Chain A
Amino acid sequence: MARIIIDPEVCKGCGICVSVCPIKILKISNIVTNKAGYFVAEVVEDKCIGCCSCAIMCPDSAISVLKQ
């Protein structure tokens, strides 16, 4: 089981991670914003397979992936 950690202050809410996730467990929040005012990405389901596609494609290096 893997776990995605998103740094909300670094995320710019571009949505690339959401589009590349093969099991669609990420989404851009429509409630939570960071200090810069961006709606940030968040994990909605705890089913991560640890492929790291989101982390590889994140332009701002906001995503880390851990294996439990």
Chain B
Amino acid sequence: MEILYKKSRMLTDTPLSYCPGCTHGIVHKLLAETLEEIGAEGNVIGIAPVGCSVFAYKFFNCDMQQVAHGRAPACATGIKRCNPDKIVFAYQGDGDIASIGIAEIIHAAARGENITVIFINNAIYGMTGGQMAPTTLVGQKTTTTPYGRVVGINGNPIRLCEMIATLDGPCFVSRVSVSDPVNVRKAKKAIKKGFENQINKKGFSLIEVLSTCPTNWHMNPVQSLDYVKNEMTKIFPLGVFKDCQEGN
């Protein structure tokens, strides 16, 4: 009997602490499968952020470091410089990377640190109860914008990938989504490319993953996947924004 699909060895048996239908679980799986495929078992150090994924160190079967809010790229820089032969990845949410940690990510990208950063964009602060994040869509209702985000009062959403792609330091900047099986496969390819760049010492890679938060969006998991596909991709277009191998 042939196994077509089974859980990756890089994930532990600890039950995920995420809500039902949260796509953090899908991205964890993609990361674990990619690391397993590139043969990096036992040679990886991950950085867990602050946010819903703060317990990521329990779920990955590799060395993990949990860091202060937004400081994952800074910590990853230190770990990578001390352990240049290890594969280092930082895993961050949108409140973590685009709000409190925006200085760290921009300077890590500008320095072209040889790390891979996975950015989960679900347009809301999930863990603290659904407040407005820098990436919240215009008109989206959150607990701090109960009538919808208004540009004149709350500003515009930040497109981090486009910002980072203007810098000279980063090697690979891409935005993917996990809204359906096709996009999940594409996301896996992008994550794999991010790690291959790191192995080949090409420099900084940022992969933004459009993700869901069914609980705080007040939708069921299937509706929230449709919301990503139909609404979020209008504001956050998918694609590759910088790829040093193609000379962009």
Contacts and interface: CB of A to CB of B under 8 A. Distances in A.
A61 B25 CA distance: 8
Interface residues of B, number: 30
A68 B1 contact: yes
Contact of B24 (A12, A55, A59): A59
Interface in A12-68: 12-16, 19-20, 38, 50-53, 55-61, 63-68
Contacts of A68: 1
Contact of A66 (B1, B11, B23, B184): B1
Contact of B5 (A14, A20, A56): A56
A20 B181 contact: yes
Given A59-B24, A60-B16, A64-B3, A16 B221 contact: yes
Contacts, number: 77
Contacts of A16: 21, 221-222, 225
Interface string B23-54: 11110010000000000000000000000000
Interface of B: 1-8, 11, 15-16, 18-26, 29, 180-181, 184-185, 214, 220-222, 225
14 contacts: A13-B20, A14-B20, A14-B221, A16-B225, A19-B222, A56-B181, A57-B26, A59-B16, A59-B21, A59-B24, A61-B7, A64-B7, A66-B1, A68-B1
Q: State the 7 A-B residue pairs at the shortest beta-carbon distance, nearest first.
A: A59-B25, A14-B21, A12-B20, A55-B5, A14-B20, A65-B4, A67-B2
